[in-house]
Amino acid sequence: MTAFHAPIAEQIWDMKYRFKQADGTPVDVTVEDTWRRIAHALAAVEDDPGAWQGRFYDALAGFKYLPAGRIISGAGTERTVTLFNCFVMGTVQDSMSGIFDGLKEAALTMQQGGGIGYDFSTIRPKGALVKGVGADASGPLSFMDVWDAMCRTIMSAGARRGAMMATLRCDHPDIEDFITAKRDAVRLRNFNLSVLVTDPFMDAVAADGDWDLVFEGTTYRTIKARALWDLIMQSTYDYAEPGVIFIDRINQKNNLSYVESIAATNPCGEQPLPPYGACLLGSINLAALVTNAFEDGAEIPDAALDDLVATAVRMMDNVVDASRFPLDAQRAEAQAKRRIGLGVTGLADALLMLGLRYGSEEAARQAGRWLERIARAAYLASAQLAKEKGAFPLYDRDAFLQADIMQRLGEDVRAAVAEHGIRNALLTSIAPTGTISLLAGNVSSGIEPVFAYAYTRKVTQRDGSKTEEEVVDYAVQTFRAKFGEDTPLPDYFVSAQTISPLDHVRMQAAVQPWVDSSISKTINVPEDIDFASFKDVYLEAWNSGCKGCTTYRPNAVTGSVLSVAEEKPAEAKSGDVVYIAEPLDRPAKLEGQTYKIKWPNSEHAIYITINDVMEGTRRRPFEVFINSKNMEHFAWTVALTRMVSAVFRRGGDVSFVVEELKAVFDPRGGAWMGGKYVPSILAAIGGVIEQHMVEIGFIEGEGMGLKADPHAEAVRVGEAPMGAACDNCGQFAARMVEGCMTCGACGHSKCG
């Protein structure tokens, strides 16, 4: 017998969360050892640890309460890591020393595994006068490039993949450049971008009014608000970024509006935070709490939910005292406010178990009821903790009771807080749960719909052989166990492909009133949605009270993750090597072109020869030769020559080679070439190959190359949709979930 509901869950535990010695020897023999390790570590800060360790273990057992991955992997290991997922860094001072002090703090935070968020609105715009040196400012985007390079360097040193959020106010003079920055295929790859949208701006959009772009009281330009809104929408439509954060709404509804102002969020947007604020996350697994699933009496018992929430709040509050912090300022901020972010996962599965269709009005009402119940239980538990241990240090009774959520939680909650205070300034948040949802048996992630009810995953065995296993959604597993393998799924088993964008918004809006922080959710929209309807999604999010909006529209630029086709070439079904076509024959004579690259600070140039072959009436690259007199380059140039030529000779659309090479960075730094920052010699070679492809008409223009294989995601009707290729395992299972490109096959994600 095993505690895991699926083989993938055990594999995720072993790869990401199982405590092992430096040589790989497991310390956690079973997942129950992992739960005991966490329970012991978090109970250790109690006056009577023995009284709580068992209760903490019971909450974790059965995957009912899922702490964030940083807690599962780090608690009780005595490693120098933070148990907090992400941070918003300090305000960036508009000076060279202030900017690079901020860069140093960011590097130290990322070194311990913390994702970071920054507001760059404090940096003067491009072209502004820098007093004292008689120069023009380079603007916030240029310094974001420096942050991006730092993140790549930290990644190359062996830390987890970097995650950063950059925000800029909608009235900053460089806002248009910010909105369009990621149209450059190699720029700011380690950032998520979001525009801080204010209430006056939305009013100006509605009225088709003018909009001033201002910095420190000086108006630089005046534009039409609606034109700027359309620029945001068009970039998001075409490139999936930037996101939109309704920043005034966030500050107005913040429990701590009396002591802090928020201008940034963590990388996935569910935690708007002040300078040096940190997000401490955990999720109630709603799917694990449903009784009598798929029967008339199916429910989540109130008492069980209340008790689990109360235990989870206490555990999360203890993390504040048990965790290490990269910076003293982060520790001080966390201890002064003790904010936590308790959320949910498995919501879509729980709705299915009750017979409800995700996105329907009834499902939205049920989701709202569950989140209201969680919020009430969390606030009551925090008030009891305040009675026992004291309120958070910056608690102000009169100011706190005026907070937006306190007006809706009920008189009993208000009375408890008024009498005892409250231990935690903010308590609820819905975070990305991609990996911990897999750990819990492939329950649906966060408040997202089910992406795929089943898919096939290739697993490498210890002897090197590969087997295939079916990865099945938790609700489907439960349904099959009850009604048999051959019983058709009911019509209410909808998935991400069949839900309308406005159904997504309805679900987000239904739970938002009970989430005092924010929500990480991706609204998947079809590729063929027209632009006007796309914009309506954002306006509906604004009008229905959401604090932000993130969409993902599959297309040739972002990668297609939701397409479904009638027919699927058999050779593209596997996550193994896919041969796009039979190898092309080499004619005796080929035409080509030789290019020269002179890399800065290198004594010898690199020469690149690209030969082409005619395929019908179309000219296409067939082979590459890379040469240099610099013997330091010999081995890798030979290897690259052979590998790229081998790819080219397979035929098909091989332009993905360009994007892969252009994305390679050198931790020692890149160089400026032709007015653009090139992150490595390999990226420069990729640029040359791209230039050649454009010249011969193989691709239409710069940045128009294939990224992975957008055709590989299409599947036969009835099969699970395939995603983009995963950076970690190579399988076509990556899809956008809760603001993170997450692999359904191995659990790898940009955000951890």
Do residues 169 and 211 lie in contact, with contact meaning Cβ atoms separated by under 8 Å?
Answer: no
Given the residues 254, 266, 318, 524, select the one marked as catalytic: 266
Helix (H) / strand (E) element for 454: namely strand 454-460
Q: Is 274 helix (H, G, I), strand (E, B) or coil?
A: coil
Catalytic site residue 266?
yes
Contacts with 411 (C-beta within 8 Å, 6 or more apart), sequence order? none
430, with CB counted inside 10 A (0-12, 13-18, 19+), is buried
Amino acid identity of 301? P
Catalytic site residue 690?
no
Do residues 311 and 59 lie in contact, with contact meaning Cβ atoms separated by under 8 Å?
Answer: yes
Bridge partners of 466, per DSSP, are: 460
CA dist list (Å): 224 to 55, 194, 205, 207, 537: 58, 20, 8, 10, 21
How many angstroms separate the CA atoms of 345 and 492, rounded?
A: 19
Given the residues 105, 241, 260, 270, select the one marked as catalytic: 270
Catalytic site residue 743?
no
306, with CB counted inside 10 A (0-12, 13-18, 19+), is middle
Q: Is 590 helix (H, G, I), strand (E, B) or coil?
A: coil
List the one residue out of 494, 508, 580, 588 whose CA is nearest residue 540: 508
Given the residues 86, 268, 549, 726, select the one marked as catalytic: 268
| CA trace torsion 64, 65, 66, 67 (10° rounding) | -170
Amino acid identity of 147? W
Strands 191-197 and 164-169: parallel
Contacts with 225 (C-beta within 8 Å, 6 or more apart), sequence order? 201, 204, 205, 207, 208, 209, 210, 211
Helices (H) and strands (E) in the chain, counts: 23, 28
Start-end of H helices in 209-301: 225-239, 247-252
Amino acid identity of 418? A
DSSP string, 616-640: TTEEEEEEEEEEES-GGGHHHHHHH
Q: Enumerate the active-site residues.
A: 266, 268, 270
